[in-house]
Structures are given as structure tokens and as C-alpha cells.
Amino acid sequence: MDFIMKPWPWYVSGPLIGLVMFILIMSGKNFGMSSNLRTFCTICGAGRTSELFQFDWKKQRWNLLVVIGTVIGGFIGAYFLSSDTAVAISPETIKNLESLGFHSAGSAYLPGELFSLEALTQFKSLLLLGIGGFLIGFGARYAGGCTSGHAISGLSNLQLPSLIAVIGFFIGGLLMIYLIFPILF
Amino acid sequence: MRSFIYLVIGIFFGIVMYKSEAASWFRIYEMFRFDAFHMYGIIGSALLVGIVLVQLIKRRKWQSIYGEPIQIHPKEKSFARYMYGGIIFGLGWALAGACPGPMFTLVGAGYLSILVVIFFAILGTFVYGLLKDKLPH
């Protein structure tokens, strides 16, 4: 059981993600998590504002079940299948994060500086989480997919649009970390 | 009963996301700094398995488990929407450290602050819907 309780290596996790996509395709669906954000908008009545949200959300019920499962899976993974929450990132990353003021690097699953309940009472961390979320939602729909829809599903189907999107993901990520982080932290 | 399978797939996916540490902000940061192979290994090996299985489905014309033909819709051809949308998504992914799958995993793992990210991700999707026709695609 020890190997299950420890973090799973990439060569176990990666193929399992490929398998998740395969099972979804074999059951007549597709692997795309950001579509659910659109479905939430429709459920909240956004259909009045844009044709993007005018569709029968009940046809996406299956994907909402995947989301509910993802929440339950996170609960099981964290509370029943893990003995330690520390993420063993590389020493260079820890050193770099320390210099930016992230002292939980190497000893936690998420940085307390952004995600602890205490940080939630601070305007700056709340603002950063909000901006991050907004960009994710806006960008995923603009690009027509996120990591699951483009980087896994689209590239698996050898789609050029998905390659362009993934290159975009990396340009954005590198801009954030190398140009914007030094200003923010 | 058909619905139940999607819940099970989701649970499996959530466990993999948590245990692979792909739901960890730190792993995303480390990936964008090219300090470790971990995330590249995950995405690369997922892709390898994905490419082989998708090619098998297409070439052997496999049917779904319900006996229906499988349709894999190709993405529309364009450059602007994928590049601009991709860059905006990447900025958010690096800042919040979670993409639209793992953010739900983190709710279950008990990190309630991620609800702020999810709320604003839904808002971002909504605002994209409002501005859609004014943006280059």
C-alpha cells in the first residue's frame, strides 16, 4: 500500500490520464473540463446575454457528473490515499520561491501565502486568485479548451489548433512567471 | 445507470490529479521554470497513450461501449483565437496554479480558497460570452 500513499510518479499518472480520455471517448463523450464553466453560466441564466450560453445544458449533465466525481476524487486522494501533503519540488524551485517570499515551498501542497484561509482575508491574495481564475475562464473559452481539451484531447487527435493553443498556454505561463511575478511578489 | 459511469470516471480522474500532484500550484510553477521533468512526463505520457488509442479508434472504426459510432470533432481552423486565448489562459494557469480540472479536485481536498478561483473562472467565461463578437477569432 505504501506506493499508493506516496505521490504517484509521472509514468503512472500520465498514462492514467490518457486512459480517462479514452474511456470518455469510448462512452461517446469527450474529455474537456472547461466546458463545465460554460454550462454553469447557462444554468445561471446567461443564455439571455450571449448565444454562447444558449444550449440545452441537460445534454452536459454527464460532464457535470465528471466534475462532481473530480471533487470526490480530490477528497479521497487527500484524506484516504495520502500520508503527507508536502510536494517535493526541485531544490532550485524552492530556493527561487523562498526569494519571492513563498516560505511553504517544499513543505505543502499549495502555497499558504495564496491559499490559506488567513490569506483569504488579505486583499492582495484574494485579488490574485480572482484575476487568475478570471483569466483561466476567459482564456479557456476564447481558445475553445483548456489543458484537458487541447493539451490532452486535441494533441492526441493531432490537431494543429490545439498545438497553437498549447504554445499559447506556455507563452502566457512564462510571461506570468518571468515578467509579472517579480512585480507581484 | 449510464450516468453512474461518468461519476466513477470523475472520481478516478480526481484521485489521479491529486496523487500526481498536477493539482499542486508548486508543480505548475516548477513546470514553467523548467526545473523538473515531472509535469512534462505526465503530459507527455498521457499524450503518448492518447495518440495511440485515438488512432486505434479512428483507424479500426471502433464503436462506443453503447454500440454507437464514435465521432471525434476536429477543431475549427484558425490562429488568432487559439494563440490569444491560449496566452490569456496560460497567464491565469501560472498565477492560480490550477486548470479547470484540478481546481475541482482541490475543493474536495479541502482547499476552500480555490472556490474564489472557480467563481472568477465562471465569471471570466461569462464575460468572454459578452465580448465574443468583438474579439478576433
Write the pLDDT tens digit of every residue in B23-70.
Answer: 999 999 999 999 999 999 999 999 999 999 999 999 999 999 999 999
> Three-state SS for A92?
helix
Residues contacting residue A65 through CB under 8 Å, at least 6 positions apart: B3, B6, B7, B10
Q: How far is A51 from chain B (nearest CA, A)?
A: 8
pLDDT recorded at residue A1 = 73
Contact A144 B26 (CB under 8 A): no
Contact A140 B112 (CB under 8 A): no
Contact A93 B30 (CB under 8 A): yes
pLDDT recorded at residue B25 = 98
Structural contact between residues A166 and B86, judged by C-beta atoms closer than 8 angstroms: yes
pLDDT recorded at residue A127 = 97
Q: Which residues of B touch A105 (CB under 8 A)?
A: 26
pLDDT recorded at residue B2 = 79
> Three-state SS for B97?
coil
pLDDT tens-place string over residues B80-136: 999 999 999 999 999 999 999 999 999 999 999 999 999 999 999 999 999 999 999
Structural contact between residues B54 and A25, judged by C-beta atoms closer than 8 angstroms: yes
Structural contact between residues B101 and A148, judged by C-beta atoms closer than 8 angstroms: yes
Contact B9 A147 (CB under 8 A): no
Task: Give the separation between CA A139 and CA A119, rounded to whole angstroms.
Answer: 26
Q: How far is B121 from chain A (nearest CA, A)?
A: 4
Predicted model pTM: 0.96
Calculate the CA A33 to chain-centre distance.
9
Q: Which residues of B touch A132 (CB under 8 A)?
A: 92, 95-97, 117, 120
**A45 burial class (0-12, 13-18, 19+ CB within 10 angstroms)?**
exposed
pLDDT tens-place string over residues A137-175: 999 999 999 999 999 999 999 999 999 999 999 999 999
Q: How far is A82 from chain B (nearest CA, A)?
A: 8
Interface test with B, best of A50, A98, A134, A160 (most B CBs within 10 A): A134
Structural contact between residues B11 and A72, judged by C-beta atoms closer than 8 angstroms: yes
Structural contact between residues A140 and B89, judged by C-beta atoms closer than 8 angstroms: yes
Interface residue A151 vs chain B (CB under 8 A): yes
Contact B86 A166 (CB under 8 A): yes
pLDDT recorded at residue B74 = 86
* φ, ψ (nearest 5 deg) of residue B69: -65, 145
pLDDT at residue A2 is higher than 90: no
Here the cell at position A37 is 464553466
DSSP A59: G
Closest Cα partner for A36 from B125, B132, B131, B17? B125
Interface residue A174 vs chain B (CB under 8 A): yes
pLDDT recorded at residue A92 = 97
Contact B96 A136 (CB under 8 A): yes
pLDDT tens-place string over residues A66-120: 999 999 999 999 999 999 999 999 999 999 999 999 999 999 999 999 999 999 8
